[in-house]
Structure 1
Amino acid sequence: MHPRVSLHQVAMVDRETGPFLQFCCDIGVQHATLVSPRLLQANERDGAREAVQHGRIAVGCINHPFALHPDLERDSGIAARDLIRVIDMAAELGAPSIYLITGGRGRLSWEQAATRFAELLAPCRDHAAARGVALLVENASPLTVDIHIAHTLPDTLRLARLAGIGLCVDLHACWVEADLREKLAEALPLAGLVQVSDHVPGDRTTPCRAVPGDGAVPLEAILRDVLDLGYTGLFDLELVGQRIEAEGAELACTRAAHTLSDILTRLGA
């Protein structure tokens, strides 16, 4: 398995963290993205700590929902308090970064919500830097407007710069954008993670991800651009939705990891 392949826990979020990490090891994946709601449970954290301490796998990133309860408009500081805890967990597990779902905007305009996100996040930036953990914000489908404000790659880059943090580039959310290579060239210097999946035209539910190679996303061409533009980090498989469930997460994740590994090997990553 190519050493830059990572697998996101969301594909098996019903499985405890320890067994999920063991599955990654069993199929040869060396890195994983974990989800903070599970890690905030003590027994889940123990499973992750044991796997990392025994050298079986590395935690490449942690996914954390920021101002979800309540949203950006109504948050009173709870989001920052919870993120501080996740930063400390990331440092303990050796995870180099945390990528954030911002939370919904409430009644705020985009600009107001972006400023509010930066304000709420401010107490966390110095703490993250002191613990050696990078904070990232991802671009996500506009169908997630209830929990996130950054959808196009330029908007997400604008938000990251405003907040003084980095980027998680989700190719599933931006592969259809115009001038994608040019946008990637501007975004990738701030990128701490690139996420990979496919999309089958006609799928209109959310989430609607597919195993790489099963859909219409020209992944090899895009990944060639990503590599040519100098990105040196992990490629994270974020697989979730009806197609993944119908096939079975274990089989879908195994196929996806091998497909992505083969692409990266062909491209000389």
Structure 2
Amino acid sequence: MIEARMNKISVSQLSTLRWDLETDVDAYASHGFGGIGLYRPKVEEFGIERVSEMLLDYQIHPTSLSWVGPFTGGDLPTEEAILDAKQAILDAASLGIDTVVVIAGGRQGHIYNHLRNFFCEALTEVAAVASRYGVRLALEPFHPGCGREWSFFSDLKATLDIIERVASPALGLNFDTYHVGMDRHTWDWLPDLAPYLHLVQLGDARHCPHGEMNRCLLGDGHVPVRKLMERISDLGYQGPWEIELLGQDVECLGYENILNHSRHYLSRDLAPF
């Protein structure tokens, strides 16, 4: 039973950043994980055809592709960022990935409303392509303590506002417990966001994010990971639970230890999921 339920548990390649994709796939499958959250630079290293073969050989399902963007304040001009996002959607469709993570970009001193409208226009164009290829976009808010350069919005209310403004069935939310799990308002917004949950990423932290992202092992921090999983499951979420652990607190532990601990933590009581 545990093995079957573990098929819904995925590991983001950002959790094993220094390994290559082949090592990732082999290790995740060996530890009993049924899914992998793919990271675009690692995919590009091997190429779409080889990656597709590896996933098939190891019988591991790609749960997401990270990421497209930033669309504001990034290295790419917006038109190039849009073209890059469209290419990522094509790659995702080729690999059988139904969810692409979206990062908005920082505020860079711009007026919030103007930036939001600008971003929504870009998202509308990208979402149209995603819909055409049967790919979903998962918008990720970042905690302001560690993500101002990554996202000009940080809370679930603002995320929902953008999703509703774009009004595309392809656009939804990447709910990362590290970024929103310690916000007391999260519980209030979950029922409204439940229909838009495209992906749930699991991360924990010993303190409120500040500076560089620094996640700890699941269950070792102050994020109510288990309670959030229970609530999200109660609201009807049936998608994958994708582990994403990176930062100083886990880097010294070794990737094998991170995978071992994550499997043990999530296999203790997976019945509700």
TM-score (norm 2): 0.89
Give the match for residue 201 of structure 2: 195
Higher mean alpha-carbon deviation, 77-86 vs 247-256, is at 247-256
Q: Deviations over 1:6-28 (max 9, x none)?
A: 10100112222122111111111
Distance in 2 between the 1:40 and 1:77 partners?
21
Q: Deviations over 1:178-200 (max 9, x none)?
A: 24322111112101111112111
Distance in 2 between the 1:237 and 1:47 partners?
24
Identity percentage over the alignment? 23
Indicate the SS of the match to 2:199: strand
Give the match for residue 59 of structure 1: 62
Which amino acid letter does the alignment assign opposite residue 15 of structure 1?
Answer: W
Gaps of 5+ in 1: none
Number of aligned residues? 265
Tell me if structure 2 keeps the 8 A contact 1:72–1:113.
no
Give the match for residue 222 of structure 1: 228
In the alignment, which of 30, 40, 43 is matched to residue 44 of structure 2?
Answer: 40
Displacement of 1:129 in angstroms is: 1.0
Give the match for residue 9 of structure 1: 13
For residues 26 and 139 of structure 1, do their structure 2 counterparts lie closer, same or farther at Cα, with a shift above 3 Å needed?
same
Which amino acid letter does the alignment assign opposite residue 67 of structure 1?
Answer: P
Distance in 1 between the 2:49 and 2:173 partners?
28
For residues 89 and 183 of structure 1, do their structure 2 counterparts lie closer, same or farther at Cα, with a shift above 3 Å needed?
same
Q: Deviations over 1:81-113 (max 9, x none)?
A: 001111011011111110111122333222222
Displacement of 1:229 in angstroms is: 1.2
For residues 246 and 72 of structure 1, do their structure 2 counterparts lie closer, same or farther at Cα, with a shift above 3 Å needed?
closer
Which amino acid letter does the alignment assign opposite residue 38 of structure 1?
Answer: K
Give the match for residue 162 of structure 2: 159
Tell me if structure 2 keeps the 8 A contact 1:239–1:253.
no
Give the match for residue 97 of structure 2: 95
Displacement of 1:204 in angstroms is: 4.2
For residues 202 and 127 of structure 1, do their structure 2 counterparts lie closer, same or farther at Cα, with a shift above 3 Å needed?
closer
For residues 74 and 85 of structure 1, do their structure 2 counterparts lie closer, same or farther at Cα, with a shift above 3 Å needed?
closer
Give the match for residue 119 of structure 1: 121
Tell me if structure 1 keeps the 8 A contact 2:31–2:259.
no
Q: Deviations over 1:113-147 (max 9, x none)?
A: 22111112232222211111001101212121112
Distance in 2 between the 1:208 and 1:92 partners?
33
Map 1:168-247; keep pairs closer than 5 Å.
168-201=174-207, 204-247=210-253
Indicate the SS of the match to 1:62: strand
Structure 1 residue runs of 4 or more that deviate by more than 4 Å after TM superposition: 202-205
Displacement of 1:203 in angstroms is: 7.1
Which amino acid letter does the alignment assign opposite residue 252 of structure 1?
Answer: I
Higher mean alpha-carbon deviation, 125-134 vs 213-222, is at 213-222
Tell me if structure 1 keeps the 8 A contact 2:28–2:259.
no
Distance in 2 between the 1:114 and 1:254 partners?
41
Give the match for residue 148 of structure 2: 145
Distance in 2 between the 1:217 and 1:177 partners?
9
In the alignment, which of 69, 75, 79 is matched to residue 77 of structure 1?
Answer: 79
Tell me if structure 2 keeps the 8 A contact 1:72–1:105.
no
Higher mean alpha-carbon deviation, 159-168 vs 19-28, is at 159-168
Distance in 1 between the 2:117 and 2:17 partners?
32
TM-score (norm 1): 0.90
Higher mean alpha-carbon deviation, 233-242 vs 105-114, is at 105-114
Tell me if structure 2 keeps the 8 A contact 1:21–1:48.
no
Which amino acid letter does the alignment assign opposite residue 102 of structure 1?
Answer: A
Gaps of 5+ in 2: none
